[in-house]
C-alpha cells in the first residue's frame, strides 16, 4: 500500500483517537486496524502492500468509531479489547427509556446529567469524582433509581457519555497536557507551563505530572479544577516543604454513587432586593395619580439588619399627609417595622402638580409636553428629540 489519501486519512483518525483517549499512537493504530478486522496495524500494512483496499463504508464506520471514544483508563487496566465496543446507543441517549421509565441525558458545563421523574444522576467532569444521585422528598411512588439494576443501567449511560465529553476535552488540549514525557513532564492546558510537579491551591497537595494528566487536570485529592493547579506554590512561605504528596490516583468515577435527598419544595428567601420589590409594588398600589406613581417609582427603600424597612418619599411627588396603607400592610405581613420619611431631590419633570390631574401616563405626557411647549422649553421636534 502506498501513501494514498485513504492511508493518510487512517493515520489522521488514529492520531485524533489517541489524543482523545490519552493513549499512545501505536495503540490507536492497532485499534483502527482492529476495526478493519486486522489483528494489528502491522498486519494491516502488510495486507495493503498486497493490494488490499478499504471500502467507502468501512471508512465511514471508522470515522463514526473515532467519534465514540472510550476512557483511556481501559488501557491502563490491561483491557484493550473492550476499546473495540461500539456505543451506538449513545447516539440515541439524549432521551429514552430504561424499562418503563423515561429519562433525558444532557451535558451541562462538561458534567453529564441523566434524569427522570423524581431522580437525577450527575457524573462530574472530574474523572476522579464519584457520581451524585439525587431523589426528591415528595415521591408519589417508589423511585426507580433505588432499584440496583435500574441504577446500574442509568450510571452506564451517564458514564459512557462522560467518557465522550472528557475525550473531547482531551482532543482540544495540547498533546503534552495528557501525555507525560519520559521524565513525567506535562504541559498545563491553560497556561501552557511545563513541569513534572504541580500544586493544588485548595488542599496544598503536591501532584506528579502523570497523576494530574491522568485525572484530566483535576486535583486527585480534593477535585479542584485546572484553574487551581499551578507549577509553583506561590502562596506558600516555605517553598512547599510542608506540602504532602498526593497519593490518590483518581479512580475514574468507579466509586459508589453519593445518594442525596433533595427537598424540591420552593423556599422563600426574603433578601433585601425582594423586600424592596414588594414594598415598591405596594406603593404603586397606594398611588392614585401619576405624581404618586412617580413618587413610588423614585422612593428610596432600604432594609436594615434590625428587621425594619426605611421608606423615603419625595415631598413634591407624594402627599405629606398620605400614609402608604398598602406598603404598611405588606411590611406588617413580612414582620418588618416601617420608618417613613419625607425627602427632597431633583424631580424628573417640572410642575409636579400636573401629575395630580390624571392617572393615565399617556394623558400626563401630553399635558406635560404642552406645558413645556407653552413656556418654550421643548427642543425642536418635541418628543422626537428627547
Do the domain assignments include residue 323? yes
Q: Does some domain include residue 302? A: yes
Cα–Cα distance measured from residue 124 to residue 258, given in angstroms and rounded to the nearest whole number: 12
| C-alpha cell at position 69 | 471514544
- Which DSSP letter does residue 195 get? E
Q: Residue 337: which H helix or E strand, with range?
A: strand 337-343
**Has residue 156 been placed in a domain?**
yes
How high is the pLDDT of residue 269? 84
Q: What is the mean pLDDT of residues 66-88?
A: 45
Please give the helix or strand (H or E) that residue 301 lies within, else none: strand 300-303
Range 82-94 average pLDDT: 45
Specify the pLDDT at position 256: 82
Residue 16 domain flag: yes
Range of the domain at 306: 272-374
Q: Quote the DSSP letter at residue 256.
A: P
200 and 161 in a common domain: no
* 322 and 294 part of one domain: yes
Domain boundary among 172, 196, 223: 172
82 versus 161: which is more confidently predicted?
161
**How confident is the model over 13-30, as a mean pLDDT?**
78
385 lies in a domain?
Answer: no
Q: Are residues 122 and 135 in the same domain?
A: yes
Asked if 207 contacts 181 with a C-beta cutoff of 8 angstroms, the reply is: no
End residue of a domain, out of 153, 172, 191: 172
DSSP reduced 3-state for 287: coil
Q: pLDDT at position 259, please?
A: 87
Answer with the residue of higher pLDDT: 45 or 284. Answer: 284
| 81 pLDDT higher than 60 | no
Does position 255 have pLDDT exceeding 80, yes or no?
no
Place 251 in a pLDDT band, splitting at 50, 70 and 90.
very low
In terms of domains, do 120 and 195 share one?
no
Q: Are residues 225 and 158 in the same domain?
A: no
One domain, residues 138 and 206: no
Q: What is the pLDDT of residues 23-42, one digit of tens each?
A: 777 888 888 888 888 888 88
- In order of 272, 293, 352, 357, the CA distances from 369 in angstroms are 37, 18, 13, 14
pLDDT for residue 241 is more than 70: yes
Residue in this structure with the C-alpha cell 423524581, named with its chain if needed: 118
The answer to whether position 337 is within a domain reads: yes
Residue with cell 498545563: 188
Q: Is residue 59 domain-shared with residue 106, that is, in the same domain? A: no
Q: Do 79 and 111 fall into the same domain?
A: no
Is residue 310 a part of any domain in this protein? yes
Average pLDDT, the chain: 83
Q: In the chain, pLDDT over 70 holds for what percent of residues?
A: 86
Q: How many CB atoms lie within 10 A of CB 323?
A: 11
pLDDT tens for residues 288-315? 999 999 999 999 999 988 789 999 999 9
Task: Assess whether 368 and 306 both reside in one domain.
Answer: yes
Query: What's the number of domains the chain is made of?
Result: 4
Residues 153 and 187 in one domain: no
Residue 22 is predicted with a pLDDT of 66
- Same-domain check for residues 155 and 123: yes
DSSP output for 93-153: TTEEEETTEEEEEEEETTEEEEEETTEEEEE-SSTTSPPEEEEESS-SS--GGGSHHHHHH
- Average confidence (pLDDT) over 270-282: 94
What band does 380 get if pLDDT is binned at 50, 70 and 90? low
Distance, in Å, from the CA atom of 29 to the CA atom of 42, rounded to the nearest integer, reads 9
Q: Is residue 381 part of a domain?
A: no
Amino acid at each position: 500500500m502506498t501513501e494514498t489519501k485513504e492511508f493518510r486519512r487512517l493515520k489522521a483518525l488514529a492520531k485524533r483517537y489517541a489524543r482523545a483517549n490519552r493513549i499512545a499512537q501505536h495503540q490507536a493504530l492497532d485499534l483502527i486496524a482492529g476495526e478493519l478486522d486486522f489483528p494489528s496495524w502491522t498486519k494491516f500494512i502488510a495486507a495493503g502492500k498486497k493490494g488490499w483496499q478499504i471500502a467507502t463504508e468501512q471508512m465511514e464506520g471508522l470515522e463514526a468509531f473515532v467519534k465514540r471514544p472510550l476512557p483511556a483508563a481501559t488501557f491502563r487496566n490491561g483491557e484493550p479489547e473492550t476499546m473495540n465496543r461500539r456505543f451506538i446507543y449513545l447516539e440515541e441517549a439524549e432521551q429514552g427509556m430504561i424499562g418503563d421509565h423515561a429519562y433525558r441525558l444532557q451535558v451541562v458545563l462538561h458534567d453529564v446529567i441523566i434524569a427522570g421523574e423524581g431522580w437525577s444522576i450527575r457524573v462530574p467532569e472530574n474523572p476522579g469524582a464519584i457520581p451524585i444521585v439525587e431523589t426528591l422528598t415528595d415521591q408519589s411512588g417508589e423511585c426507580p433509581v433505588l432499584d440496583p439494576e435500574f441504577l446500574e443501567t442509568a450510571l452506564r449511560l451517564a458514564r459512557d457519555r462522560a467518557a465522550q465529553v472528557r475525550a473531547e476535552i482531551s482532543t482540544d488540549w495540547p498533546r503534552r497536557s495528557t501525555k507525560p514525557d519520559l521524565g513525567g513532564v506535562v504541559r498545563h492546558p491553560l497556561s501552557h507551563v511545563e513541569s513534572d510537579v504541580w500544586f493544588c491551591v485548595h488542599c496544598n497537595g503536591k501532584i506528579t505530572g502523570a497523576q494530574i494528566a491522568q485525572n484530566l487536570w483535576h486535583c486527585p485529592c480534593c477535585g479542584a479544577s485546572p484553574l487551581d493547579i499551578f507549577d509553583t506554590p506561590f502562596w506558600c512561605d516555605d517553598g512547599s516543604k510542608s506540602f504532602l504528596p498526593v497519593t490518590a490516583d483518581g479512580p475514574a468515577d468507579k466509586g459508589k454513587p453519593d445518594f442525596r435527598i433533595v427537598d424540591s419544595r420552593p423556599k422563600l428567601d426574603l433578601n433585601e432586593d425582594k423586600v424592596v420589590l414588594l414594598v415598591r409594588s405596594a406603593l404603586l398600589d397606594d398611588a392614585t395619580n401619576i405624581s404618586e406613581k412617580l413618587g413610588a417609582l423614585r422612593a428610596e427603600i432600604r432594609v436594615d439588619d434590625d428587621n425594619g424597612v426605611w421608606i423615603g418619599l419625595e415631598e413634591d411627588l407624594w402627599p405629606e399627609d398620605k400614609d402608604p396603607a398598602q406598603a404598611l400592610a405588606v411590611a406588617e405581613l413580612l414582620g418588618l417595622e416601617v420608618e417613613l420619611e419625607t425627602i427632597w431631590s431633583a424631580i424628573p419633570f417640572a410642575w409636579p402638580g400636573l401629575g395630580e390631574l390624571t392617572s393615565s401616563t399617556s394623558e400626563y405626557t401630553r399635558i406635560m409636553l404642552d406645558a413645556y411647549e407653552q413656556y418654550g422649553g421643548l427642543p425642536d421636534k418635541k418628543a422626537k428629540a428627547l
